[in-house]
Amino acid sequence: MITKYILEFILHAKDSSPAIVRSALAEFGTDLMVEDFQKQSEESNYKVNMVTEDPTLVFDLCAQLGRIRSVKVQESCS
């Protein structure tokens, strides 16, 4: 059985948009939601929620886009 994880985190990124973040993460999981969260000048914070089999891949990719904060990782029950 493959373990899936529910991820919730804030991505602080410059020169990005919810569409760019969504596009970058789409192939790494399901139930992906990316929302603007506390926009600050040209830098933005995005609240990201998704289900994935490999949180490490998601966090490695997001680290290339910006800084990751407020991380919650939970094992999925399904």
Would you write out the chain's pLDDT as a tens digit for each of its 78 residues?
789 999 999 999 888 888 999 999 999 999 999 998 776 666 789 999 999 999 999 999 999 999 999 999 999 876
List the domain boundaries for the chain: 5-75
User: Phi, psi (5° rounding) for residue 26?
Assistant: -55, -40
pTM here is: 0.88
Q: In sequence order, what are the residues at sequence separation of 6 or more whose Cβ sits closer than 8 angstroms to the Cβ of residue 63?
A: none
Output the CATH code of domain 5-75.
3.30.70.120
How far does the chain reach from its first CA to its final CA, in angstroms? 10
Whether the Cβ atoms of residue 50 and residue 33 lie closer than 8 Å to each other: yes
